[in-house]
Amino acid sequence: MQNLIKKGSEITLTIDALSYGGKGISRYDGIVIFTNNVLPGQIIKAKIIKKKKSYLEAIPIQIIKESTFKQKEKCNHFYDCGGCKTQDLKYEEQINQKENQIIEALNHLGKINVKEIEPIIKSDIIYEYRNKMEFSFSNSRWLINNEKGLKDEKPKDFALGLHPPRRFDKIVDVDNCEIQTKLANKILALIKKESIENDLTPYDIINHTGFMRNIVIKHPKYSDQIMINIITAYKQDDILIPIVSKLKKLSPNIKSIINTINDKKSDSAYGMPQKLLYGKKFIVENLNEFQFEISADSFFQTNSIQALNMYKYVRKECKLSGSEIVYDFYCGTGTISIFVAKNAKKVYGFEIVESAIKDAKKNALKNKVKNTEFHCGDLSKMLQNYSNIIKNNPCDILILDPPRSGLHPKTLKEVLRINPKKIIYVSCNPTTQARDVREFINSNYIMGKVQPIDMFPHTYHIECVITLDKKND
């Protein structure tokens, strides 16, 4: 039947569910079809745009029947911005879809027979939950529908906002982002206004000219402190003085203003030279009794409330008695290590990013946690680089929190050779997590609880913690 459906064919589809990634799933005469920008429960007329070996891809051209899960989106930029894909889907159904995506990944990719998992830990706050947002300047503004000819049409050669989907060369000019705080939106508006009034040229990503590149606003929930990182293409901080002066007066919560100079063609400003324009080089976030420093380059979970819930859950799943040796792979700035340390004999954190390890050591010192040790190195060469630690302090519990791509095959082999009694696997990608969990099951581990955590409402992203225990020999 797939051969009978040609590229360009128009067919009627019922959207059964959303896949991980946000595309709608439907079936037509047994063929799986993925469609972008649809909701579960919709009946649509769709046009086939791609034919693959085992599935088809389509775009919606008409909604025949609306979904009962549809709601009015809150954001004015929803249909242009690439930030929130499911803001028009009722939150309860977002949760339902995410739970199903994890079950599907474990069943089909992990080949694990899973019928149900732990109820997802919902986010109590579904707007204004992000403690970090990054916005880009551009001299090529994305034109929104029906704006041509408007009296108050914005200039086309200036934008400060977010990329539309699949367009690196354009920026949607964002006036208000519903998933960052109200104060962060005021900061965004002030910087935009001052940049225009002071003729600060936006960066041209094609020709690599211009001055203003990016703005990063960090506003952690519990400390309520703010860091603003103004990323420019070259050093000329004197012309930033008017912006800095206005920002200092805007709120006493602004504790740090930094200018990062990114003179490379790459958009990443990580590790580039920085100059402190106001306040301190870092802000802090408070999670229970712990305080963590956040610098311009350091990674911190973007939803503080859900990060706290996740760390508490990981600590509970460790079931520590005080005699255990814990290894924390991909430990970052040491948040999980520090969280579990008071109930463990010793925690060893490992991470390949040197600056993160420096921050982890600072955080342990700041919180007077004395039974942690942090090491910078390649996790795929653990037995080679850390044989003394592994030999003298055998691992009881291993916490894994790898990047979206999951465990490198060499790292997975190292984990199996270290032979921990328990593994707590934290992941932001259910597909790579399912793949890796299958490898652990094949290597004599039993999968226990599967606990999803909704860290990112209105997006397809989902955090999941899976516990694995070594079978008794």
Q: Is residue 208 part of a domain?
A: yes
Same-domain check for residues 458 and 378: yes
Q: Are residues 265 and 385 in the same domain?
A: no
Burial class, 187, CB count within 10 angstroms (exposed 0-12 / middle 13-18 / buried 19+): buried
- Both 264 and 324 in one domain: the answer is no
**The domain that contains 162 carries what CATH number?**
2.40.50.1070
**Catalytic position from the list 81, 177, 428, 464:** 428
Are 464 and 356 in the same domain? yes
Return per-residue pLDDT of the chain as tens, 473 residues.
555 788 888 999 999 999 998 999 999 988 999 999 999 999 999 999 999 888 999 999 999 999 999 999 999 888 888 789 899 999 999 999 999 999 999 999 999 999 889 999 999 999 999 999 999 999 988 877 655 555 556 778 899 999 888 888 899 999 999 999 999 999 999 999 999 999 999 999 999 999 999 999 999 999 999 999 999 999 998 999 999 999 999 999 999 999 999 999 888 888 899 999 999 999 999 999 999 999 998 889 999 999 999 999 999 999 999 999 999 999 999 999 999 999 999 999 999 888 889 999 999 999 999 999 999 988 888 878 888 899 999 999 999 999 999 999 999 999 999 999 999 999 999 999 999 999 999 999 999 999 999 999 999 999 999 999 998 86
Evaluate whether residue 362 is within a structural domain.
yes
Q: Would residue 386 count as lying in a domain?
A: yes
Question: What CATH number is attached to the domain comprising 22?
Answer: 2.40.50.140
Within-domain flag for 297: no
Same domain? For 278 and 315 the reply is: no
- Of 12, 35, 65, the position where a domain reaches its end is 65
Question: Does 143 share its domain with 269?
Answer: yes
* 58, part of any domain: yes
Please report whether residue 464 resides in a domain: yes
Instruction: Tell me: do 310 and 457 sit in the same domain.
Output: yes
Q: Is 385 inside a domain boundary?
A: yes
- Is the same domain home to 260 and 342? no
Backbone angles phi, psi at 289, to 5 degrees: -85, 0
* Domain boundary residue, one of 234, 262, 290: 290
- Same domain for 137 and 266, yes or no, is yes
Q: Total domain count for the chain?
A: 3
What is the biggest distance separating any 2 CA atoms in the chain, rounded to whole angstroms? 76
Residue 428 known to be catalytic:
yes
Q: Are 326 and 346 in contact (CB under 8 A)?
A: yes
CA distance 331 to 360: 8
Q: Measure the CA–CA gap between 106 and 112, rounded to whole angstroms.
A: 5
The answer on 445 and 348 residing in a single domain is: yes
In a domain, 88, yes or no: no
Do both 362 and 384 map to the same domain?
yes
What residues make up the domain containing 213? 132-290
Q: Residue 361: give its domain's CATH number.
A: 3.40.50.150
pTM, to two decimals: 0.92
Same domain? For 280 and 356 the reply is no
* Domain-ending residue, one of 259, 290, 321: 290
